[in-house]
């Protein structure tokens, strides 16, 4: 046979175009696209179904230690399994630095945790929580050099946040070495003050989580992060953007010509403050994440932002905590105060079907836009393109054959993560992967998880093109110290 695998009659969609083709795969690589390709050892007739590049999920949390007795439900076995069943073939989880820990040690720890378990390819972002001189001047540049070319910083959470000055120092290092910085933008002191007042008034139910972190705390931090990026002259990515006022800040910056990128997530399209329940609704801890889901007007605004290409990427922010679990959402009892509940919701498996159904099938976004924000742009953002994120000759043979004929209702019982609930329970979707391939190998076949054990490979990231500072038409005036 000429090919290992041929997909016949694929209705291919990339980030740029759509076309009918056969896809020829050899040694895990797409080696031909065309009409009437020669035979393959394995042949599949897609019968005109949509075929898109495998999803790249640029934001998910697996096996991170949380303070106290809390644990994430998914590790590097169950998380990737769940991703594959929902069409995602590349994930980029985080290696979290603890304060006082070397960044290098953190990265090594997560490699050990991952072991050989993952069935999908994976890279790591770092989370930088200790921006001391040793980390910034030595460890970070060396790690960037070695394929860890993106990292996240926090403007809130006592044990993770950086001060304004530390953020500026960190951005300067990212600029010098070409790394992409992801920013969690919420104002810590505003949240602390609001939380204190809510608790003093006896307001502890899940719904007060949203009131403790209203839109303005996100808007303010978003603006501040943008200002620092402008000061230092370096592109940044604002992650998990939840609604209107943060979007306005981002659009303002983009219109000014700054390279400010933005990410949003399914929870800001499909969940709202209603899901955070009423006065005594503790099951609503299932939807506690940060930033919190907003109201329906904000949801609409996020859809508009997707349509307008304000957002470059759409990620799950999978942060898996089981509900009825003494190490999960109920680590502080079955009626926990909102400020004690672990922040995060699962979403690796449902990310693509939700957006394909309610975005593409409903006509809100084009299929090319879908591919861009779930795959192509993510691969570009993190230096994995064109190996990932593309249906092109020479790219890894990672793709999804879609079933858009069957209507399904999302049920946690049908998902493959280790979390005991999904916040999207009961939502109907009319698209789900029929087959998911990674480097030409079937991972998911018509409802069955069939991945070979440990199929996934670790990926070193190249230099992210979007992280390159703008080339200024006018000489850029850096703020130099004035001399007398
Ligand atoms: N930020 C994340 O990125 N994920 C989960 C919770 C959070 O605050
Ligand atoms: Zn975050
Ligand atoms: Zn996250
Ligand atoms: Zn001087």
User: What is the percent of the chain with per-residue pLDDT over 90, rounded to a whole number?
Assistant: 95
Q: Is 319 in the pocket of ligand 1 (CB under 6 A)?
A: yes
Confirm if 370 and 363 have CB atoms less than 8 A apart.
Answer: no
Separation of 186 CA from ligand 3 center, angstroms? 13
- To test the pocket of ligand 1, the residue of 92, 95, 289 to mutate (highest count of ligand atoms within 8 Å of its CB) is 289
Separation of 239 CA from ligand 2 center, angstroms? 7
Ligand 1 atom nearest residue 344's Cα: 5
Could you tell me which of 227, 211, 115 has the C-alpha nearest to residue 171? 227
Ligand 1 atom nearest residue 156's Cα: 8
pLDDT at 413 over 60: yes
List the residue whose alpha carbon is closest to atom 7 of ligand 1. Answer: 290
Q: Is 184 in the pocket of ligand 1 (CB under 6 A)?
A: yes
Separation of 308 CA from ligand 4 center, angstroms? 48
130-143 residue pLDDT tens: 999 999 999 999 99
What separation in angstroms does the CA of 6 have from each of 47, 76, 266?
Answer: 13, 30, 33
- To test the pocket of ligand 1, the residue of 319, 346, 419 to mutate (highest count of ligand atoms within 8 Å of its CB) is 319
65-89 residue pLDDT tens: 888 889 999 999 999 999 999 999 9
Q: What is the pLDDT of residue 457?
A: 98
Ligand 1 atom nearest residue 290's Cα: 8
- To test the pocket of ligand 1, the residue of 63, 161, 184, 264 to mutate (highest count of ligand atoms within 8 Å of its CB) is 184
Q: Is 240 in the pocket of ligand 1 (CB under 6 A)?
A: yes
Give the span between the Cα atoms of 235 and 364, in whole angstroms.
28
Q: Does pTM surpass 0.90?
A: yes
290-321 residue pLDDT tens: 999 999 999 999 999 999 999 999 999 999 99
pLDDT at 484 over 60: no
Q: What is the pLDDT of residue 481?
A: 62
Separation of 262 CA from ligand 1 center, angstroms? 15
Separation of 483 CA from ligand 4 center, angstroms? 4
Q: Is 218 in the pocket of ligand 1 (CB under 6 A)?
A: no
343-374 residue pLDDT tens: 999 999 999 999 999 999 999 999 999 999 99
- Quote ipTM for the complex: 0.87
Q: What is the pLDDT of residue 482?
A: 62
267-288 residue pLDDT tens: 999 999 999 998 889 999 999 9
């Amino acid at each position: 046979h000429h090919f290992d695998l041929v997909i016949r009659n694929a209705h291919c969609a990339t980030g740029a175009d759509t076309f009918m083709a056969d896809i020829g795969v050899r040694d895990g690589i797409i080696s031909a696209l065309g009409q009437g390709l020669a035979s393959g050892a394995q042949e599949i007739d897609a019968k005109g179904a949509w075929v898109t590049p495998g999803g790249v999920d640029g934001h998910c949390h697996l096996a991170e230690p949380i303070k106290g007795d809390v644990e994430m439900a998914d590790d590097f076995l169950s998380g990737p399994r769940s991703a594959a069943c929902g069409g995602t073939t590349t994930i980029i989880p985080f290696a979290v630095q603890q304060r006082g820990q070397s960044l290098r040690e953190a990265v090594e720890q997560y490699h050990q945790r991952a072991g050989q378990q993952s069935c999908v390819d994976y890279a790591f972002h770092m989370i930088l929580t200790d921006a001391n001189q040793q980390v910034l001047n030595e460890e970070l540049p060396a790690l960037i050099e070695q394929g860890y070319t993106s990292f996240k910083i926090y403007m809130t959470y006592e044990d993770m946040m950086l001060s304004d000055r530390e953020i500026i120092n960190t951005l300067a290092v990212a600029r010098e070495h070409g790394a992409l910085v992801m920013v969690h933008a919420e104002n810590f002191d505003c949240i602390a003050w609001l939380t204190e007042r809510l608790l003093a008034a006896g307001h502890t139910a899940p719904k007060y989580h949203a009131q403790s972190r209203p839109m303005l705390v996100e808007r303010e931090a978003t603006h501040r992060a943008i200002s620092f990026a402008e000061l230092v002259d370096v592109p940044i990515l604002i992650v998990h953007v939840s609604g209107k006022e943060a979007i306005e800040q981002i659009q303002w910056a983009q219109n000014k010509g700054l390279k400010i990128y933005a990410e949003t997530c399914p929870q800001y399209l499909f969940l709202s403050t209603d899901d955070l329940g009423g006065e005594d609704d503790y099951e609503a801890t299932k939807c506690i994440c940060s930033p919190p889901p907003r109201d329906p007007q904000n949801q609409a605004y996020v859809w508009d932002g997707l349509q307008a290409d304000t957002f470059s990427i759409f990620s799950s922010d999978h942060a898996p905590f089981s509900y009825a679990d003494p190490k999960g959402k109920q680590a502080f009892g079955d009626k926990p105060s909102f400020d004690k509940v672990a922040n995060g919701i699962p979403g690796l498996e449902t990310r693509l079907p939700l957006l394909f159904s309610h975005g593409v099938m409903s006509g809100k976004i084009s299929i090319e836009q879908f591919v861009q924000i779930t795959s192509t742009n993510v691969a570009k953002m993190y230096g994995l393109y064109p190996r990932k994120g593309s249906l092109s000759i020479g790219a890894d043979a990672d793709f999804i054959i879609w079933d858009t004929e069957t209507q399904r209702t999302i049920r946690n019982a049908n998902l493959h993560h280790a979390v005991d609930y999904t916040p999207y329970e009961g939502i109907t979707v009319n698209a789900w992967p029929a087959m998911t391939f990674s480097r030409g190998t079937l991972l998911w076949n018509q409802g069955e998880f069939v991945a070979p054990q440990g199929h996934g490979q670790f990926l070193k990231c190249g230099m992210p093109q979007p992280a390159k500072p703008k080339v200024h038409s006018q000489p850029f005036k850096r703020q130099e110290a004035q001399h007398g």
